[in-house]
Amino acid sequence: MPEINILQILFNSIVTGSLYILVALGLTMTYTLTKFPNFAHAEFITIGAYIVYAVTEQLGLGIIPGILMAFIVSGFVGVGSFLLVYRPLERRKSTMVQLMVSSIGVGIVIRYLIQQIWGGQDLRFKTLEFSAFNVGPIRMTMLWVIIIVTGILLVVIIHLLLTQTKIGKAMRATAANPGLAQSCGIDIDKITAIVWFIGAALAGVGGFFKAADTKLVPVLGWSVLLPAFAVIVLGGIGSFYGMIAGAYIIGLAENFSIIPLLSLGLSTDYKTAVGFIVIILILIFSPSGLAGIDWGGIFKRKKHRGES
């Protein structure tokens, strides 16, 4: 059994968690506003990665324009699918399951368009070199540092957006009570569209990071979608701060699961199942996520028992 470097695992967990923040933010926001789990979010993730590939590898325009393009294109794909499919369905009083299935349809269309354009084979970012270096006992690459910084920056920006700006407050109001928000003069259609754009755009950037760290395939988004569901379910759907906590908890759980897996002689492939298992456990024991657990109640009950 290889030696276990706890600090390294912690660092890796933060990288994973930061990546999940990027991809899960849009998922949880659109879930709250349009009230269904959007399976096509996987393809919003994938398309971003391919756009970066096209701009940097195929056109040779460099990484910054690549990421910017990914942000824009993924954003438009997201808002486009909302305006063309989900909103018309919503207006026709479709059920949640119908919306879910339609998002599967949207996902299939995007995935096979990608496959048509770039092919189904594995692609790698060849022109991008991320230097690797050691900080004390921790091995890191520039990419991982960028992912962490992006994650933290994003949290700060979204926090400021939600609390300090008019549009952020309108978003919160719309999520909490669309009817009330509308009667307060908030254009909820516009707000919802903006949220779809930002959510998909960030997912696209997250997709690039994931692809740069591993490889680029049309099913890239799928490998992130279920953990992303775990993150938002854990954090409580629609909760921004819960989602952040959820992202790092899943990051930690995935990376630390390597220790028991190795000691049991099981494949480390199972690390990807950690998120799935968390989903199942959370949904069964506390369907509203961490926020839904009656923390006060747990202590109270214990106290009562102590008294009696």
Partner 1 sequence: MAFPIGYLLDTLVFAGIFGILSLSLNIEFGHTGLPNFGKVAFFMIGAYTSALITLSGKPFIAGITGAMIVSGICGVLISLPAIRLREDYLAITTLAFGEILRLILKNEEWIAGGVLGLKGIPEALSLKGVQATLYGHVVVVYISLAIFFIFLRFLEKSPYGRLLKAIREDELAAQSFGKNTVFYKAQSFAIGSAVAGAAGSLYAQYLSYIGPDLFMPIVTFTVWAMLIIGGIGNYKGAILGSFIYIGFERGARIMKDYLHLPVDPNNLMFIIFGLLLIVVLLFRPEGVLKEEKVKLL
Which residues form the interface with partner 1 (CB under 8 A)?
A: 36-37, 85, 88-89, 92, 94, 96-98, 100-102, 104-109, 111-113, 115-116, 222, 226, 229-230, 233, 266-267, 269-270, 272-273, 275-277, 279-280, 283-284, 287
| Residue in 166, 173, 165 with CA at minimum distance from that of residue 192 | 173
CB distance 171 to 57 below 8 Å: no
Give the shortest CB-239-to-partner 1 separation in angstroms: 16
Give the shortest CB-192-to-partner 1 separation in angstroms: 18
149's CB contacts (< 8 A; 6+ apart) are none
Give the shortest CB-248-to-partner 1 separation in angstroms: 20
Three-class SS state of 141: strand
CB distance 246 to 289 below 8 Å: yes
DSSP structure string for 227-271: HHHHHHHHH-TT-HHHHHHHHHHHHHHHHHTHHHHHHTT--GGGG
Give the shortest CB-105-to-partner 1 separation in angstroms: 4
Tokens 């979608």, residue located: 225
Q: Which is nearer to partner 1, 182 or 223 (CB)?
A: 223
214's CB contacts (< 8 A; 6+ apart) are 220
Q: Which is nearer to partner 1, 113 or 162 (CB)?
A: 113
Q: Which is nearer to partner 1, 143 or 231 (CB)?
A: 231
Give the shortest CB-123-to-partner 1 separation in angstroms: 16
Give the shortest CB-120-to-partner 1 separation in angstroms: 9
- Bridge partners (DSSP) of residue 123 are 216
Q: Which is nearer to partner 1, 90 or 182 (CB)?
A: 90
Q: Which is nearer to partner 1, 180 or 266 (CB)?
A: 266
Q: From residue 103, how far is each of 36, 99, 107, 129 by CA, in Å?
A: 9, 6, 6, 35
Q: Which is nearer to partner 1, 151 or 235 (CB)?
A: 235
